[in-house]
Structure 1
């Protein structure tokens, strides 16, 4: 009798294991097929894999409207991921942030992707990544755009999200069908309502208006909720369906194998290991102007996540014609300035304190880089010419911070040369 019971127990265990195995394999197969449709076919070397290499992604939420061909980038994020620390830093950029890439029109941050897309669709990702890589001082490896229809469907697939709505929201636009109507308090929101919650800015029905900072904070809340929902049992079982849904509403240059590596490496990342940085600024129509120190803090946070590896920040020198190098004993701050037009550099060792170097030449503010030092103290050097340093910013002669430096205002600054604008100055903006 005991042997019979044991046989039955063993048979049941085998049957259960087989069923679970088939189920897991089915999910894996569905997920794999969906990933292959989304990702590109490039082969990624082992040393470049997301499993071992810190990566930077540019994420954009696109309000795509087929009737007008609009590609409004309402959500813009730069994300750095560190596999060793199992952590991430996410910087939210206001869509109205003023930017002025070298040789391009000075426009809002959400202008550049549709700008490049209108010129040449095949190179739009590459050119857009260059602009934001220069702006944030980190190498942007990949870009992802998701249109809002896909976002709505994903939230609905998850059964909605429980969200703490921070204010009454009411906005109606009969022309494009927008109808935002949310009440303050804890609520279970479907996909459409969650999107309304994230996007709400203006009101035309006697409710308070919202700021870009508040919108960025809502994005964080929604992302946290999505992460928790995706890691739940229900989320895991729907993973293949979710990826397939995203795939039909997403464009990316991430290889399929890299998508798998990203998923397996960061799927269970803890929300406490995700650092959110919200770039805020002052509204000076039609732009949001971000303070130098806030922008530098965001750059430093991204660079730190990458292990201190930044890039040359083209056109972001805080003075032209004379260079500024800033070294930090923390080992993650980035150098700024033109240094006669030289390119940025990275070094490590026993350099100490803060150092400002002035060099002659006619540079264009292209130099940047990172240094790490184990020493301590403060030191200044001058090589040819007079140099003064104020709060870590060097100025030489009459050169000042110009508007060419991405929304940083100047008394005597000038704009960079502008190429013919294919889109109007407010392109990419929407009414919400």
Structure 2
């Protein structure tokens, strides 16, 4: 992801707050936020799972999270692609970051390309269909995040705490080893750095995981109406989803799932195909990850 996964806190955590002590205030405020966020797409549903998700029955659900960078917004390519599955039955979440340069078939185009180009060619629908086909896992909903607003969202929860294992500098920020308190600006730089990390994308994915968990943790502890209002305001300005408001409200029973978050990875290797740089995913490892996600979604 690059700096995003904050959306997990948006789709789930913000809903949790709706059921809290400020329920009436939050319901009214969140309904306004949900209207700002809502962006319907021309897609009837998953090609793999035909049944409609029923949140009142606590059905497992999946999301595709897309992070859009300001510097790439004109080109429509997503810097971050994350698949999140939520299972309220065993109260857990799984999150898979798909490397942006992954070689994959673009559904609807008839050729392979970098997977993050799907959004450029076909918007949300092609991105959902392409990721679904690539992983053989149903994608129920999509959420796009304007990464320009990342700092605002982190600051809205009062900053986050992370444990840093690699001393480095990036974007004018210096990060020492050990426990760090990060503002929105610092968190943005913390998750952006990749080239100087000896672990590459794996190292960045670990930093992203910490940022997500930090946001979830701090967001769940918010008790001030003013603070919650700031979070909802930041969300409304920077997030869009095809999810309906009532579905968001019905998801409040999914809250315990955010406390058990597992991050998955796809192994592979970098290669040049016809002169173009790609990340080529190991097919056996992709099958392993696919099976794990299917099991988490309780698919037959």
Alpha-carbon distance change, 224 to 131 in structure 1, aligned in 2, over 3 angstroms: same
Larger radius of gyration: 1
* 1:265 corresponds to 2:271: no
Partner of 1:85: 90
Alpha-carbon distance change, 284 to 234 in structure 1, aligned in 2, over 3 angstroms: farther
Partner of 2:115: 109
Q: Is the 8 A contact 2:84 2:93 kept in 1?
A: yes
Indicate the SS of the match to 1:85.
Answer: coil
Partner of 2:194: 201
Q: Which runs of 5+ in 2 are unaligned?
A: 1-19, 42-50
* 1:294 corresponds to 2:288: no
d(CA) in 2 for partners of 1:69, 1:50:
36
Q: Is the 8 A contact 1:41 1:256 kept in 2?
A: no
Aligned-pair CA distance for 1:164 = 1.5
Task: Say how many residue pairs are matched.
Answer: 266
Aligned-pair CA distance for 1:128 = 1.4
* 1:183 corresponds to 2:201: no
> Deviations 1:2-45 (Å, cap 9, x if unpaired)?
xxxxxxxxxxxxxxxxxxx9954223322222223223589xxx
* 1:282 corresponds to 2:273: no
> Deviations 1:332-371 (Å, cap 9, x if unpaired)?
xxxxxxxxxxxxxxxxxxxxxxxxxxxxxxxxxxxxxxxx
Aligned-pair CA distance for 1:87 = 2.2
Q: Is the 8 A contact 1:59 1:143 kept in 2?
A: yes
Partner of 2:208: 219
Aligned-pair CA distance for 1:231 = 0.9
Q: Is the 8 A contact 2:61 2:85 kept in 1?
A: yes
* 1:28 corresponds to 2:21: no
d(CA) in 2 for partners of 1:307, 1:170:
43
Q: Is the 8 A contact 1:212 1:280 kept in 2?
A: no
Indicate the SS of the match to 1:51.
Answer: helix
* 1:138 corresponds to 2:151: no
Say which structure, 1 or 2, has more relative contact order (CA 8 Å, 6+ apart). Answer: 2
Partner of 2:150: 151
> Deviations 1:239-290 (Å, cap 9, x if unpaired)?
343123112111211112112223x123343533x22211232222412222
Alpha-carbon distance change, 99 to 226 in structure 1, aligned in 2, over 3 angstroms: same
Match of 1:76 among 48, 60, 81: 81
> Deviations 1:204-242 (Å, cap 9, x if unpaired)?
xxxx55501111111111111111111113478633431
d(CA) in 2 for partners of 1:47, 1:83:
16
d(CA) in 2 for partners of 1:235, 1:59:
28
> Deviations 1:293-327 (Å, cap 9, x if unpaired)?
21011101110111124xxxxxxxxxxxxxxxxxx
Q: Which runs of 5+ in 1 are unaligned?
A: 1-20, 117-123, 172-177, 310-432
Indicate the SS of the match to 1:48.
Answer: coil
Aligned-pair CA distance for 1:135 = 0.7
Partner of 1:242: 231
Indicate the SS of the match to 1:65.
Answer: helix
Of Structure 1 and Structure 2, the greater helix share is in: 2
Indicate the SS of the match to 2:78.
Answer: strand
Alpha-carbon distance change, 158 to 233 in structure 1, aligned in 2, over 3 angstroms: closer
Q: Is the 8 A contact 2:60 2:297 kept in 1?
A: yes
TM-score of the two chains, using structure 1 as the length reference: 0.56
Indicate the SS of the match to 1:106.
Answer: strand
d(CA) in 2 for partners of 1:90, 1:32:
27
Match of 1:59 among 62, 65, 77: 65
d(CA) in 2 for partners of 1:278, 1:132:
15
